[in-house]
């Protein structure tokens, strides 16, 4: 792998120990995946924030890095294990909270923006078409590759942090044109409804695995695209997709000879049935990926004037910025549940407080059984909210 003189000197430790470690990791990744060089990035997005997922080993690594490391590009952070202000209301233990706050502080010390959200592109970190970036968080990086036309691999937490510290990423995988081309054409007819896009993403992920789908017959808005990207990434490791007539790279693609697959209503219903393992939730969790401003408005519009009659906890997970933009909507939603920021139903330790979680997100329903010991009810948000009336 070719390194510039400056990159060589970083690797020799002439710019400090943390930079050396970061460069060592990038070079190792580059060699494994056959990169020829490092390319400058415009932003990074880091996962590995919840104390539940990174544990003591993760904190030790961050303590070491934070001694002298600083990120040199715009860098944002994925959700943590709790709302920084409302962790007691979530039933999070004090020991967990202290560790979690330390993790966020360590990232902050390195210059990372600590608005913990999995929708950075809706909250101030929105790359442009053609930008090279290093993003972890499978749903966000797929959205950035596909809907925004930026270029990132499916980075791990340490790899994204190393790229943020150096300001570069090894050029392989989805940085290269040849790996962004479609491998399957998906034809689907959907209702104009968020749940349908979640189920379509699940079906494509399950059926096609780590493919590059090219969709015909759909035109997702931001909310539909983000939930579809999340489901495809969780069920099948999809990191980029194209939509005919919509996504930035869709127009110049050659589809000759590519396999065509139709996804119909029967398959989507099957996905919903497979992800549903219980009927009576003790938690309804919406906002996977984090709710956008328009979703907050839609949910508040539906709930305004209604009354909660059933004692089922509801979480509306969003980013701190979106919550700030939606004070009226937050007031309506708070009559029914908690509008939580910084966190989500999967990375919070809900296994200590809940047994059955309902969500409209197939991504959440993929992960909740394994990561949170939950049974799941997968259904659209309005049907779930009707359960508390
Ligand atoms: Fe975001 Fe958590 Fe879902 S990080 S995409 S809300 S699992």
Residue 189: per-residue pLDDT:
82
Residue among 194, 364, 368, 370 to mutate when testing ligand 1 (max atoms within 8 A of CB):
364
Query: Rounded to an integer, what distance in angstroms lies between the CA atom of residue 216 and that of residue 206?
Result: 19
Residue 192: per-residue pLDDT:
82
- In the structure encoding, which two tokens stand for residue 130, read together? 């053609």
Task: Output the ligand 1 site: residues, CB below 6 A.
Answer: 78-79, 118, 139, 230, 288-290, 317, 344, 346-347, 363-364, 367
| The listed CATH number (3.30.420.40, 2.40.110.10, 3.30.499.10, 3.30.70.1060) that belongs to domain 5-177 | 3.30.499.10
pTM of the model: 0.97
Residue 232: per-residue pLDDT:
98
- For tokens 């009336």, the residue is 389
Instruction: Delimit the CATH 3.30.499.10 region(s) of the chain.
Output: 5-177, 276-386
| 83 Cα: distance to centroid of ligand 1 (angstroms) | 14
Residue 345: per-residue pLDDT:
98
Query: Rounded to an integer, what distance in angstroms lies between the CA atom of residue 57 and that of residue 359?
Result: 31
User: pLDDT under 50 in the chain at which residues?
Assistant: none
Residue 196: per-residue pLDDT:
97
Mutual angle of helices 222-236 and 362-372, in 10-degree steps: 40
Nearest Cα neighbor of 74 from 144, 179, 177 is 144
- For tokens 């409804």, the residue is 193
Cis peptide before 289 (omega within 30 of 0): yes
Q: ∠ at Cα 275 (49, 306), nearest 5°?
A: 80
Residue 191: per-residue pLDDT:
85
In the sheet that holds 43-46, the strands lie side by side as 74-77, 43-46, 133-135
Residues in a beta bridge with 74: 43
- For tokens 């080993």, the residue is 57
pLDDT tens digits, 12-29: 999 999 999 999 999 999
Class of 276-386 in CATH: alpha beta
Residue among 139, 292, 348, 362 to mutate when testing ligand 1 (max atoms within 8 A of CB):
139
pLDDT tens digits, 349-361: 999 999 999 999 9
């Amino acid at each position: 792998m070719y390194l510039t003189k400056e990159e060589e000197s970083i690797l020799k430790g002439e710019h400090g120990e943390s930079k050396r470690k970061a460069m060592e990791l990038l070079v190792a990744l580059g060699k494994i995946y056959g990169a020829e060089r490092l390319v400058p990035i415009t932003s990074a997005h880091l996962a590995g924030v919840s104390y539940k997922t990174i544990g003591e080993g993760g904190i030790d690594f961050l303590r070491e890095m934070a001694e002298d490391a600083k990120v040199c590009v715009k860098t944002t952070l994925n959700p943590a294990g709790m709302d920084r202000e409302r962790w007691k209301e979530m039933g999070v233990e004090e020991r967990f909270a202290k560790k979690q706050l330390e993790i966020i502080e360590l990232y902050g010390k390195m210059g990372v923006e600590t608005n913990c959200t999995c929708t950075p592109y809706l909250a101030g970190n929105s790359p442009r078409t053609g930008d090279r970036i290093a993003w972890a968080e499978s749903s966000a990086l797929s959205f950035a590759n596909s809907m925004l036309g930026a270029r990132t691999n499916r980075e791990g937490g340490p790899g994204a942090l190393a790229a943020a510290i150096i300001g570069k990423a090894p050029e392989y995988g989805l940085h290269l044109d040849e790996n962004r081309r479609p491998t399957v054409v998906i034809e689907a007819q959907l209702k104009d409804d968020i749940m349908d896009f979640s189920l379509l993403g699940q079906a494509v992920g399950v059926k096609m695995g780590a493919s590059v789908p090219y969709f015909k017959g759909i035109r997702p808005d931001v909310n539909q695209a983000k939930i579809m990207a999340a489901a495809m990434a969780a069920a099948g490791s999809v990191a980029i997709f194209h939509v005919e007539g919509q996504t930035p790279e869709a127009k110049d693609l050659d589809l000759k000879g590519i396999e065509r697959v139709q996804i119909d209503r029967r398959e989507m219903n099957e996905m919903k049935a497979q992800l549903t393992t219980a009927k009576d939730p003790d938690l309804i969790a919406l906002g996977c990926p984090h709710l956008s401003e328009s979703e907050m408005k839609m949910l508040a519009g539906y709930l305004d004037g209604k009354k909660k009659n059933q004692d089922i906890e509801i979480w509306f997970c969003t980013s701190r910025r979106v919550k700030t933009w939606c004070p009226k909507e937050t007031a309506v939603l708070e009559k029914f549940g908690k509008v939580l920021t910084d966190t989500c139903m999967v990375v919070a330790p809900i296994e200590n407080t809940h047994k059955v979680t309902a969500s409209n997100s197939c991504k959440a329903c993929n992960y909740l059984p394994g990561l949170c010991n939950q049974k799941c009810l997968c259904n659209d948000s309005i049907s779930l909210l009707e359960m508390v009336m």
